[in-house]
């Protein structure tokens, strides 16, 4: 039986952008040595008339209509037109949604674009984590203006753990250490105070945290780093700078990273104050 040279046309019809259907069609087409297919995407379908237009165009050629439609009325219109024109169709989501409904005893949300929304959230988290790593501990201060949140505080006030937690929530975070003997980058004064969060902590608690850090590194626990007078000086300097910046200040004493991070998220969303 001879092969025809005419490429089949696959219409990709979706009430969202159509990425899911196109991915599946390409995966299936790769299994056939038929010279490939001609893909024609028809995204953001909202009414029956658009579906009818696709079938009219497809009726004059060797075509398949693959679709990802979650709105019941559009799915019914697709089925009706398929019977009318006798064109081969492939419902990419339907059978799997039915299986999920039977197993979970729940109905689908029927919201177009949910996969794309999930993808966007995933890639935003990835970008936020990369941003947090790149701008951790004062690295590349040029990025402070691009950050949604800038955390400032002296050593061991949870800047990095908070940055990473917030990044996994999709927040673009940079953090900057405050040291009395080191000038902060001028870029810190270019950004809105509303984006800056100052972190302070109880001096005795900080001393214990720093002692544990030195112990973990195998260093002398009598270093100036854990001297309570030095810690008080650092905190005084930090508070003075935070006042100058006009930023919000959070006391992280005895608080879990998740608790502080959630307060910061609420603050940047306008839901609460410090």
How many distinct structural domains can be found in the chain?
2
The answer to whether residue 69 scores a pLDDT higher than 60 is: yes
* 84 & 136 share domain: no
* 144 & 240 share domain: yes
Q: Is residue 222 part of a domain?
A: yes
Q: Which domain holds residue 95?
A: 9-112
* 99 & 41 share domain: yes
Q: Is residue 231 part of a domain?
A: yes
pLDDT band (50, 70, 90) for residue 2: very low
pLDDT tens sequence across 167-224: 988 899 999 999 999 999 999 999 999 999 999 999 999 999 999 989 888 888 778 8
Task: Quote the pLDDT of residue 23.
Answer: 82
Report the phi/psi class of residue 170: left, alpha or beta, with left for phi > 0 and alpha for psi in -120 to 50.
left
Which of 112, 138, 156 lies at the terminal end of a domain, its last residue?
Answer: 112
* 173 & 41 share domain: no
Residues of the chain above pLDDT 70, percent? 86
CATH number for position 105: 3.40.50
Whether 29 contacts 10, CB under 8 Å: yes
The answer to whether residue 124 scores a pLDDT higher than 90 is: no
Q: Is residue 117 part of a domain?
A: no
pLDDT tens sequence across 104-114: 777 655 555 55
* 107 & 215 share domain: no
Position with higher pLDDT, 155 vs 108: 155
The answer to whether residue 75 scores a pLDDT higher than 80 is: yes
Alpha-carbon distances of 59 from 52, 86, 143, 209, 215, rounded to whole Å:
11, 9, 55, 73, 76
The predicted model gives 235-260 an average pLDDT of 96
| 262 CB-near residues (< 8 Å, 6+ apart) | none
* 107 & 216 share domain: no
Instruction: Find where tokens 């609460």 sit.
Output: 272
Q: Is residue 216 part of a domain?
A: yes
Instruction: Find where tokens 């006009």 sit.
Output: 246
Q: Is residue 178 part of a domain?
A: yes
Residues of the chain above pLDDT 90, percent? 57
Alpha-carbon distances of 182 from 154, 177, 179, 205, 272, rounded to whole Å:
11, 9, 5, 24, 33
* 128 & 228 share domain: yes
* 89 & 130 share domain: no
The predicted model gives 124-129 an average pLDDT of 84
* 63 & 142 share domain: no
Cα 124 from Cα 167, distance rounded (Å): 9
Residue 11, CA atoms < 13 Å, CB-side half-sphere = 25
* 45 & 131 share domain: no
The b-or-e profile of 63-92 (16+ CB within 10 A means b, else e) is: bbbbbbbbeeebbebbeebbeebebebbbb
* 49 & 137 share domain: no
* 16 & 91 share domain: yes
Task: Quote the pLDDT of residue 1.
Answer: 40
């Amino acid at each position: 039986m001879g092969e025809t040279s005419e490429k089949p046309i696959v219409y990709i019809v979706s009430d969202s952008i159509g990425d899911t259907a196109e991915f599946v069609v390409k995966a299936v087409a790769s299994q056939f040595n038929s010279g490939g297919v001609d893909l024609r995407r028809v995204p953001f379908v909202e009414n029956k008339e658009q579906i009818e237009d696709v079938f009219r165009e497809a009726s004059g050629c060797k075509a398949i209509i693959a679709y990802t439609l979650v709105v019941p009325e559009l799915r019914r219109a697709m089925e009706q037109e398929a019977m009318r024109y006798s064109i081969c169709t492939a419902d990419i989501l339907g059978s799997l949604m039915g299986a999920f409904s039977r197993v979970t005893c729940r109905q689908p949300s029927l919201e177009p674009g949910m996969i794309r929304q999930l993808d966007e959230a995933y890639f935003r988290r990835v970008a936020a984590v990369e941003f947090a790593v790149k701008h951790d501990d004062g690295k590349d201060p040029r990025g402070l203006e691009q950050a949604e949140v800038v955390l400032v505080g002296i050593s061991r006030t949870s800047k990095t753990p908070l940055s990473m937690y917030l990044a996994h929530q999709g927040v673009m975070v940079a953090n900057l250490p405050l040291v009395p003997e080191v000038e902060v980058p001028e870029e810190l004064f270019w950004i809105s105070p509303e984006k800056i969060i100052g972190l302070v902590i109880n001096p005795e608690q900080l001393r214990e945290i720093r002692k544990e850090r030195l112990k973990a590194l195998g260093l002398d626990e009598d270093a100036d780093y854990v001297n309570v007078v030095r810690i008080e000086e650092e905190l005084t300097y930090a508070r003075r700078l935070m006042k100058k910046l006009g930023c919000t200040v959070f006391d992280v004493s005895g608080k879990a990273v998740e608790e502080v991070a959630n307060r910061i998220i609420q603050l940047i969303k306008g839901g609460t104050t410090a």
